[in-house]
A and B are shown apart, each in its own frame.
Chain A
Amino acid sequence: MPEVIDHRPNRALLPADRIRRDPAPSRLQYRLERMWLRPIWRRAVRIGVPAALAILIGGLWLADPDRRALLSDGVQQVMDKIQNRKEFQVTTMVVEGASPVVDAALRQMLPVDLPASSFDIDLAALRLQVMQLDVIESVDLRIKPGGILSAVVKEREPAILWRHARGIEILDRTGHRVASVTSRDVRADLPLIAGEGADLAVPEALSLIDAAGPILPRVRGLVRKGERRWDLVLDQGQKIMLPATGAVIALQAAMALDKAQDMLGRDITTVDLRDPSRPVLRLGMDARNTIREARGQALLGPDGKVIIPEDDKKGG
């Protein structure tokens, strides 16, 4: 303790004790501050340096293959743990609106055995796979709460039979294949169409069959000609040739003729309506011979040739 204590006010700190700091920034500090005010430096230091450090540390840590394996194993374990939780388990599959055959096919298509995690079921891929079945028009796949995989299926309705060179197929209203059949008798209730490209014009064929209502018992089927127009084939070798456009109207006209004059009940083999303004009828053999007989002409044989009497041949 000093012997003399200075009690004077405001003299606690002698001026010499005070260190006067120069308020001016040093030249280096000044230059650094100015450099810091450049946007490119700020960006480099604020974003570039932390990013480089993070990449460096991460890269160094991952350089060891053991650590990489450890990391991927850990991630995989956590993912498995989460995916195998009870909440994500799918236990049952419910199929609505499908026939038993389709139901079985759907269950077989499921890539995993139930119960399975809902993460393992790829609904979009499964849906694409299911849609490849011809019989299915649309399917609504979803995983419902409670672990239920619900599939609401809408099947295609068989509308018509199509006979072609490779067999007989059932088509739906739009012409899409539903299934194949071995013989026509399996589905005798469906109308029959034939010919190349007939499946592309199924809606028109259906409307033609609707229009042929009065003579439906006599209709054998429809034949697509040149992928362009239809022939309506009846029993007793009769057929109605329809135009490429306006076939329904032409058929309705033929039906009207038939109703008024019983056209199809007569000996006519072909009704040619390809030119709607000028229908043409082809008479049957008996009718032609009746006419020839009445005119005194020689009769025609079943092959369409004039029968030459025996005596003429001999005498000739």
Chain B
Amino acid sequence: MAELYQTQRAMRNIRRAALQRGVIGILDIGTSKIACLVLRFDGTGTFRETDGVGPMAGQVNFRVIGAASTRSRGMRRGEIDVMAETERAIRTVVAAAQKVAGVRVDHVIACLSGGRPASYGLAGEITLESGRVHEHDVARVLAACDAPDFGRGREVLHAQPVNFAVDNRSGLGDPRDHVGNRLACDMHLLTVDGDVIGNLVQCIRRCDLELAGIASASYASARAALVEDEQELGSACIDFGGGGTGVSIFVKKHMIFADNVKIGGQLVTQDIAQGLRVPLPVAERLKTLNGGVEATGRDDRDMLDLGPDASSWDGERRAVSRADLIGIMRPRVEEILEGVREVLDAAGFDSMPSQQIVLTGGGSQIPGLDGLAARILGPNIRCGRPLRIDGLAHQFTDPGFSSAVGLALFAAHPQDEWWDFETPADSYPTRSLRRAYRWFRNNW
């Protein structure tokens, strides 16, 4: 735990240094595509009202000066499969984004979608010596949370204090300077496989980049796709990705649960390729251009040309009806949604005060998905697009880029995590100084 605390603190320091230099890169390594945004932080807000970007959510102190995305390589189910291939993909996208931005990127913030995430709710409690909550008391109560046994090789990705309680007053966002005798806190802990993180760090380091932060992809996409009220009142964000579907639940502006369903859009493509006996690129094209989940009578007559690559040996061109395509896609999408339903049930989403569900990610663009999801997940469904940020080109504003945009918000305004507070041992000298100061003030 101590080692992890030090690494995360080091990453926060790198992030701060990068912000001071003014340029930071965002690297969203997904299973089907990899995106890189280059952000410039220049202190004061540079947004213009004419761009249609208001000072929303305080995201005004940076703008995107370069963006690129390309096909991902060497990734499988949100994890790195072939390191060299992934490294090449990172090099491609970083070089392209640097070319657009015209500046060199040294520090990147990356996200991780796979790695079998596991959420834990932790609770800690201390008694207050001075009858008032001080800065070091917050750090002490965070350190007092009793960590369960994560298992071998697990690493903590997020450790966010969700709730503080002083005596019997609960639901405090910031307990500092509250008067009381007892401070309790709830912490949400997200762990992933350490090897997966290690591979990612290694891959990024081999591209001469320094890692300034790492976040869970489902957390990042929820920060971009959920509006503030949804984050406050409670909602779930479903991120339909290529290799997996991320689920995260937010309430009171904090993530309280995150998980991953291991079925994604690539499996749908694979089903189409197998069912229609077409190559994978053709299947991907059919899925993105003509895919759907609700068949109507018109779809029976809508014939799709499979193209020359899918024709038989003698050059006869084949065609399938759109209804056939929907018939292949729908069971797989339903299976994904069932998986999401199971995850939400396991998380106890039914007992949440507000049961808003937001669909985002590239897969959420399937026409009719919200209707199908409403039947399986619940009535309050909407398709979410990422928050508009300054300078982002239009082709990067579709739902598939919500985790990249969320990472940009994470880079600008990271939420408090456990490693943002000094450990009690570190704060001891300041406390003794304060005690000496108090003694002087009382006696002289």
User: Which residues between 93 and 110 of chain B lie within 8 Å of chain A, taking CB atoms?
Assistant: 94-95, 98-99, 102-104
Contact B98 A27 (CB under 8 A): no
Asked if B208 is an interface residue, CB under 8 A from chain A, the answer is: yes
* B94 cross-chain contacts in A, Cβ below 8 A: 30
Proximity bits, B74-104, A CB within 8 Å = 1, else 0:
0000000000000011011011001100111
Contact A34 B98 (CB under 8 A): yes
A280 CB to closest chain B CB (Å) equals: 86
- Give the complex CA separation of A131 and B166 in angstroms: 97
The stretch of A17-25, A151-159, A232-240 in contact with B is A17-25
B426 CB to closest chain A CB (Å) equals: 36
Asked if A10 is an interface residue, CB under 8 A from chain B, the answer is: yes
Asked if B290 is an interface residue, CB under 8 A from chain A, the answer is: no
* A25 cross-chain contacts in B, Cβ below 8 A: 91-92, 95
* A10 cross-chain contacts in B, Cβ below 8 A: 308
Asked if B376 is an interface residue, CB under 8 A from chain A, the answer is: no
- Give the complex CA separation of A22 and B73 in angstroms: 11
Asked if A4 is an interface residue, CB under 8 A from chain B, the answer is: no
Contact A30 B91 (CB under 8 A): yes
Asked if B321 is an interface residue, CB under 8 A from chain A, the answer is: no
User: Which residues between 231 and 271 of chain A lie within 8 Å of chain B, taking CB atoms?
Assistant: none
Contact B308 A30 (CB under 8 A): no
Asked if B147 is an interface residue, CB under 8 A from chain A, the answer is: no
Of all chain B residues, which has the CB nearest A31? B208
Please tell me which one of the listed residues A9, A33, A38 contacts residue B95 in the complex, with CB atoms under 8 A apart. A33
Contact B308 A34 (CB under 8 A): no
Of all chain B residues, which has the CB nearest A37? B104
* B91 cross-chain contacts in A, Cβ below 8 A: 24-25, 27, 30
Asked if B315 is an interface residue, CB under 8 A from chain A, the answer is: yes
Proximity bits, B280-319, A CB within 8 Å = 1, else 0:
0000000000000000000000000000100000010000
Asked if B70 is an interface residue, CB under 8 A from chain A, the answer is: yes
Proximity bits, B204-217, A CB within 8 Å = 1, else 0:
00011000000000
Of all chain A residues, which has the CB nearest B85? A24
- Give the complex CA separation of A27 and B207 in angstroms: 8
Contact B88 A24 (CB under 8 A): yes
Majority SS of interface residues in chain A? loop
Asked if A37 meets B315 with Cβ closer than 8 Å, knowing A25-B92, A30-B91, the reply is no
* A37 cross-chain contacts in B, Cβ below 8 A: 98, 102-104
Asked if A33 meets B98 with Cβ closer than 8 Å, knowing A9-B308, A24-B88, A25-B91, the reply is yes
- Give the complex CA separation of A24 and B308 in angstroms: 28
* A24 cross-chain contacts in B, Cβ below 8 A: 73, 88-89, 91-92
* A313 cross-chain contacts in B, Cβ below 8 A: none
Quick one: which of A10, A31, A34 has the most chain B CB within 10 A?
A34
Contact A34 B104 (CB under 8 A): yes
Asked if A8 is an interface residue, CB under 8 A from chain B, the answer is: yes
* B308 cross-chain contacts in A, Cβ below 8 A: 9-11
* B208 cross-chain contacts in A, Cβ below 8 A: 30-31, 34
- Give the complex CA separation of A188 and B98 in angstroms: 96
Of all chain B residues, which has the CB nearest A34? B104
* A11 cross-chain contacts in B, Cβ below 8 A: 308, 315
Of all chain B residues, which has the CB nearest A35? B104
Of all chain A residues, which has the CB nearest B103? A37
User: Which residues between 1 and 54 of chain A lie within 8 Å of chain B, taking CB atoms?
Assistant: 8-11, 22-25, 27, 30-31, 33-34, 37-38
* A30 cross-chain contacts in B, Cβ below 8 A: 91, 94-95, 207-208
Of all chain A residues, which has the CB nearest B98? A37
A203 CB to closest chain B CB (Å) equals: 68
* B73 cross-chain contacts in A, Cβ below 8 A: 24
Please tell me which one of the listed residues B70, B98, B99 contacts residue A23 in the complex, with CB atoms under 8 A apart. B70
B90 CB to closest chain A CB (Å) equals: 9
- Give the complex CA separation of A11 and B308 in angstroms: 9
A237 CB to closest chain B CB (Å) equals: 95
- Give the complex CA separation of A11 and B317 in angstroms: 13
- Give the complex CA separation of A10 and B88 in angstroms: 31
- Give the complex CA separation of A31 and B70 in angstroms: 19
Asked if A38 meets B104 with Cβ closer than 8 Å, knowing A10-B308, A31-B208, the reply is yes
- Give the complex CA separation of A34 and B90 in angstroms: 14
B105 CB to closest chain A CB (Å) equals: 8
B95 CB to closest chain A CB (Å) equals: 5
* A38 cross-chain contacts in B, Cβ below 8 A: 104
- Give the complex CA separation of A188 and B73 in angstroms: 116
- Give the complex CA separation of A23 and B70 in angstroms: 10
Of all chain A residues, which has the CB nearest B207? A30
- Give the complex CA separation of A8 and B311 in angstroms: 12
* B95 cross-chain contacts in A, Cβ below 8 A: 25, 30, 33
Of all chain A residues, which has the CB nearest B101? A37
A40 CB to closest chain B CB (Å) equals: 11
Proximity bits, A143-163, B CB within 8 Å = 1, else 0:
000000000000000000000
Of all chain B residues, which has the CB nearest A30? B91
* A31 cross-chain contacts in B, Cβ below 8 A: 208
- Give the complex CA separation of A31 and B106 in angstroms: 12
* B103 cross-chain contacts in A, Cβ below 8 A: 37
A15 CB to closest chain B CB (Å) equals: 9
- Give the complex CA separation of A285 and B253 in angstroms: 125
- Give the complex CA separation of A194 and B259 in angstroms: 117
- Give the complex CA separation of A38 and B104 in angstroms: 7
* B207 cross-chain contacts in A, Cβ below 8 A: 30
- Give the complex CA separation of A37 and B95 in angstroms: 10
Proximity bits, A86-116, B CB within 8 Å = 1, else 0:
0000000000000000000000000000000
* A27 cross-chain contacts in B, Cβ below 8 A: 91
* A23 cross-chain contacts in B, Cβ below 8 A: 70, 92
User: Which residues between 271 and 285 of chain A lie within 8 Å of chain B, taking CB atoms?
Assistant: none
Additional A-B contact list (5), CB under 8 Å, known A22-B88, A24-B91, A30-B95 = A23-B92, A24-B88, A33-B95, A34-B208, A37-B98
| Sample of 27 A–B contacts (CB below 8 Å) | A8-B315, A9-B308, A9-B315, A10-B308, A11-B308, A22-B88, A23-B70, A23-B92, A24-B73, A24-B91, A25-B91, A25-B92, A25-B95, A30-B91, A30-B95, A30-B207, A30-B208, A31-B208, A33-B95, A33-B98, A33-B99, A34-B98, A34-B104, A37-B102, A37-B103, A37-B104, A38-B104
Residues of B within 8 A of A (CB): 70, 73, 88-89, 91-92, 94-95, 98-99, 102-104, 207-208, 308, 315
- Which 4 residue pairs spanning A and B have beta carbons closest together? A24-B88, A37-B104, A24-B92, A10-B308
